[in-house]
Each structure stands twice: as structure tokens, then as C-alpha cells.
Amino acid sequence: MNFGERRHIVEDEIEQYSLGRIPTERLAAIEEHLLVCEACQSRVQEADCYAPAMRKAAEEMRRQPSSGRRVFGLRLAHAMAGVAFFALALVGWEVSRPGIVTPYPVALEATRGEGVLRKAPAGRNLELQLDVATLAAQPSYRMEVVDATGRAVWSGQASSRNSKLTVSTAPLGTGYYFIRVYGADGALLREYGLEVA
């Protein structure tokens, strides 16, 4: 997922996504980012609450005779205030919720055979930090997390900075996982082991 220098989806794209108006060529990138970014997920939830309220208010306004529009305007203002209050309350709840914590950092290193297996807690977003200093430099790498059976549970893109790849993933359940790094040509470059308990 490449959003350039920005870390999150811009407000216009959040709104367009909520309304189902994202161009097909951007949809996959946005949905991939939403899989791993709780901040953008919360913003989409807010937009999803706001958009139907506005549609309903606009429909009611079109149905009202012109003499009733003044009263409707007051109702609309009250409805907007209610929606704004709800959105702020939702954001406050998301921020203050005890389960929301920063991603758990995990520094991974590639080993052969029965090397040291890194551990991470189950149910927490993870920030995977992979050392790729010995790999040929590439502008970006495709990443994949697979479970012990080889089933992909997460995938995304990452850019290398200072010979390190850092990506955030959604929470993983208890078990053994492998983090795979692929080159631009699709070749598997590295595999890292991870135990989630």
C-alpha cells in the first residue's frame, strides 16, 4: 500500500469510499490499508454513520413543500447536531477504549533450521520490523503472513528505509506464522518465523 508520505487515507477518499464512489483502480489499495489501520477504520465507520443521515435528510427536504422547508431546516440543523454528537462520541469511545493500544513491535530476523523464534501476544496489532540489509535494494517489497498450514492471513506492500521493513498487521490468533518477503519479480526473498501466544 503506498500512500506516499501520508500514513492514512485522506478525508475525501474516506467519504468517497463510504459512498461507494472510489474508482476501481484505487479500491484494492484502500481496502488493503483498511485491513490493518484502525484509525482509518474508525474514520470510515464515522462516514458510514454520517452519509445515510444526510441522504435521509435530503430526501425529506425534497418531499417537503416550500412552506415546510423552514421548519425542516430547523429539523435538519438538529439532526446534523445529533449526528455530529454521535460521531464525536464514537471517536471518543474508540480513543478511550481500553482495548485500543499501540501496535506491539516485533523485530524479526531470518534464521536457518531451528533458530530463535520471535514471540508476540495474540489479539494485538503487530508492528513487524524486518532487517533486509543483505537483500538487493528494491523500491518496495510484497509482504505476506501465512499460518502454519501455509494459508495467507495478511498481505501488503512495504518500502525499505535504512535497510529495514516495517509493517503493521491486524491482530493474529494463537499459533505459528511465517512472514514472507517477495521481490518485485514475485520471488520469495526471505521468510521469518513468529509464534503468537
- Residue 113, in any domain of the structure: yes
pLDDT of residue 79: 63
Asked which of 68, 96, 124 is the last residue of a domain, the reply is 96
Q: Residue 192: name the closest of 137, 146, 158 by CA.
A: 146
pLDDT of residue 73: 58
Determine contact, residues 11/40, Cβ cutoff 8 Å.
no
- Residue 118, in any domain of the structure: yes
pLDDT of residue 192: 84
Q: Is 105 helix (H, G, I), strand (E, B) or coil?
A: strand
What is the domain extent for residue 153? 104-196
Asked which of 39, 71, 96 is the last residue of a domain, the reply is 96
The most distant pair of C-alpha atoms in the chain lies apart, rounded to whole Å, by 79
Q: From the CB of residue 173, how many other CB atoms can be counted at a distance below 10 Å?
A: 10
**Count of structural domains, the chain:** 2
pLDDT of residue 98: 47
Q: Residue 174: name the closest of 190, 157, 155, 153 by CA.
A: 153
pLDDT of residue 48: 78
Q: Is 127 helix (H, G, I), strand (E, B) or coil?
A: strand
pLDDT of residue 88: 56
Same domain, 116 and 142: yes
Same domain, 71 and 125: no
Same domain, 85 and 151: no
pLDDT of residue 161: 72
- Residue 17, in any domain of the structure: yes
Q: At what angle do helices 11-18 and 38-63 cross, to 10 degrees?
A: 60
Same domain, 121 and 137: yes
Q: Is 143 helix (H, G, I), strand (E, B) or coil?
A: strand
Q: Is 9 helix (H, G, I), strand (E, B) or coil?
A: coil
Query: Which parts of the chain sit beneath pLDDT 70?
Result: 1-6, 51-52, 54, 61, 64-101, 110-116, 162
pLDDT of residue 15: 82
pLDDT of residue 97: 46
Which DSSP letter does residue 23 get? Answer: -
Q: 20: left (phi > 0), else alpha (psi -120 to 50), else beta?
A: left
* Domain CATH for 151: 2.60.40.420
pLDDT of residue 95: 46
Same domain, 142 and 116: yes
Same domain, 41 and 73: yes
Same domain, 58 and 133: no
pLDDT of residue 91: 52
- Residue 6, in any domain of the structure: no
